[in-house]
Amino acid sequence: MLMIPQEEWQSLHEKLDRLIEIVEKTQIGSPGKDWFESDEVREILGISPKTWQNYRDQRLIPFSQIGRKIYVSRADLDAFLRSHRIGTRK
């Protein structure tokens, strides 16, 4: 059995909570999620609504539209990100 002071335990617990929050924010959606709505896509890409509209107008990322709702598949978003990847310098 290991005993640590209460303050250190609390500090460790807070750091773990922050780490979990960071990991959740950096993941592209939840693991089982296959489709993203427009606001999620914009957040993932870090783009404005106008830029997202331009991407759709130029058909840069395939999307589906049902009524006014727009959806992008995980596979299409991953492909777009891979196609814009900048490699390391040699």
So where are the chain's domains? 33-90
Does the pTM surpass 0.75? The reply is no
- By residue count, the chain amounts to 90
Residue 79's closest CA among 58, 57, 63? 63
User: What fold, for 33-90?
Assistant: Arc Repressor Mutant, subunit A (1.10.10)
Distance CA 17, CA 12 (A): 9
Residue 47: which residues within 8 A CB-CB, separation 6 or more? 55
- Token readout for 43 is 């957040």
Q: What pLDDT, in 10s, does the model give residues 17-51?
A: 888 776 666 565 555 678 999 999 999 999 999 99
Distance CA 33, CA 27 (A): 11
Q: What pLDDT, in 10s, does the model give residues 43-84?
A: 999 999 999 999 999 999 999 999 999 999 999 999 999 999
